[in-house]
Amino acid sequence: MPLPTSAPAFAHEDLNPFEIASRQFDIAAERLDLNPGIREVLRRPVRWLSMSLPIKMDDGSIRVFEGYRVQHSCARGPCKGGIRYHPSVTLDEIKALAAWMTWKSACVDVPFGGSMGGIVCDPRKLSAVELERLTRRYAFEIATMIGPERDVPAPDVYTDARVMSWIMDTYSMTRGTNSPAIVTGKPVTLGGSRGRISAAANGVMCCIRAAAKIRRMDLHRATAAVQGFGNVGSVTADLLFNEGVKVLAVSDSRSAIHSSEGIDISSLIDHKRRTGSVAKFPGTAPIEPALVLEQPVDILVPAALENQITLANAGRVQAKILAEAANGPTTPGADGVLHKNGVLVLPDILANAGGVTVSYFEWVQDLQALFWDEESVYQRLQKVMGKAFEDVYRTAAIYDVNLRTGAYILAVDRVATATKARGIWP
């Protein structure tokens, strides 16, 4: 039966992120004709921890927050994955993000497995002191699970270098050591890598350049829309702007703006820093946030959360290239619609892998206590991303599949090969 080009709003789709991650894995496992036992091993996380985190609030009350850490695979190296603070965090979301980290590390061939952590909270409603207490309590709870050779956390949605510093300090204090390699995305002064803040966005940009070549798109004449204006979204928008792309629409969690002349992104970054929002940026008009994804632009960059492009709106995506800066922004149902409509989707496990790549560089620098300059980090990142794009493109061509399935086949094969080589113990 042909896939629909757009779907009625009532079209049923399972939006559970872990179910989605499992379906994506199953498609690759099927094409690889993976042994059923190995398939079972790789389909589920190796372990996870759920915890209650009691915190003294500034007004003297006590609140208990829910936290998680999930380790999906350590077959190719220590687990690696971010920490997310968001009110909608669930265990299944964290399991999905941990699995995506395994496939992402394998896709760009860095020697890490995958993990993820999160706390159900809205950090925008906590004071800096409450946030620090919550972070340190969480770090203490997961201290038995993490370690430079076990599991290395990093920033994700609503966590940053400051949060990583607190985790590094709490871990180091409880161990009586100085352990910079316990987290990545730290400030440079504590052993962070130069170029880490812009790493994920630089990787996205590298993939957009490669995709533009394939589509014979001149970036100097191209237009773009970016959903999410945090670490990854704002830097990607800035890189697009500096490349000569007109960024016509941008959104954050509260508002969305549009300008047919193109938005001056470096000034918008200043505006967001000053006001906390992209709203009311001079020379732009407010638009409905959902419409950012449906703009008639050449390049669409979702850089916020999962399940933004679904069966309900995929048929209205007008972009020619969709670069997944966020993890899991597109559902499998939407993937089918986009593919049929000729949209070139650059899958998350490839497109945003610049973050884990420079995290790997940071970990290497910390372990060696020898630090690289920014140019050296950037050159190495370009090399890794360029090779990963070629590997994914070639795999997709060999198997005659889209880039997402190509990326999964490449990644799952690498993890399965390592798992089989290690053997199932005992």
Least distance between ligand NAD and beta carbon 404 (Å): 16
Sign for the CA dihedral angle at 285, 260, 232, 103 comes to positive
Buried residues in 294-322 as b, exposed as e (16+ CB within 10 A): bbebbbbbbbbbbbbbbbbbbbbbebbbb
Q: How far is the CB of 196 from ligand NAD (least distance, A)?
A: 8
Q: Would you put residue 263 in left (φ > 0), alpha (ψ -120 to 50) or beta?
A: beta
Min separation Cβ 324 and ligand NAD, Å: 9
Q: DSSP strand E in 284-366: where?
A: 285-286, 299-302, 321-323, 344-346
CA distance 292 to 61: 41
Closer CB to ligand NAD, 161 or 343, in the complex? 161
CB of 110 to ligand NAD, least distance (A): 13
Give, for 67, the enclosing helix (H) or strand (E): strand 62-73
Distance separating alpha carbons of residues 109 and 410, to the nearest angstrom:
10
Q: How far is the CB of 271 from ligand NAD (least distance, A)?
A: 13
Which lies closer to ligand NAD via its Cβ, residue 262 or residue 289?
289
- At closest approach, how far in Å is the CB of 300 from ligand NAD? 13
Nearer to ligand NAD, 31 or 196 (CB): 196
Least Å distance between CB 230 and ligand NAD? 2
Extract the runs of DSSP E, i.e. beta strands, from 364-416: none
Nearer to ligand NAD, 124 or 394 (CB): 124
Q: Can the peptide bond before residue 426 be classed as cis, meaning omega within 30 degrees of 0?
A: yes
CB of 199: closest distance to ligand NAD in angstroms? 7
Question: Residue number with the shortest CB distance to ligand NAD?
Answer: 230
- Stated as kind and residue range, the H or E segment containing 236 is helix 231-242
- Least CB distance from residue 423 to ligand NAD, whole Å? 32
Is 31 or 112 the residue whose CB approaches ligand NAD more closely?
Answer: 112
Residue with smaller CB distance to ligand NAD, 232 or 401: 232
Footprint of ligand NAD (CB under 6 A): 155-158, 200, 227-233, 251-253, 289, 303-305, 325-327, 352, 355
Dihedral of CA atoms 403, 409, 414, 418 in degrees, nearest 10, equals: 150
H or E element: which one contains 54? Answer: strand 47-56
CA 22 to chain centre: 17
Q: How far is the CB of 368 from ligand NAD (least distance, A)?
A: 22
Query: Residues 121, 85: contact at Cβ < 8 Å?
Result: yes
Pull the structure tokens for residue 306.
Answer: 């999962």
Rounded distance between C-alpha atoms, residue 149 and residue 119, angstroms: 23
116 pairs with which residues across the strands?
70
**C-beta closer to ligand NAD: residue 78 or 155:** 155
CB closer to ligand NAD, 29 vs 388: 388
Strands, sheet with 256-258, edge to edge from the N-terminal-most edge strand: 285-286, 256-258, 246-251, 223-227, 299-302, 321-323, 344-346
The residue among 322 and 416 lying less far from ligand NAD, judged by its C-beta, is 322
- Nearer to ligand NAD by Cβ, of 53 and 201: the residue is 201
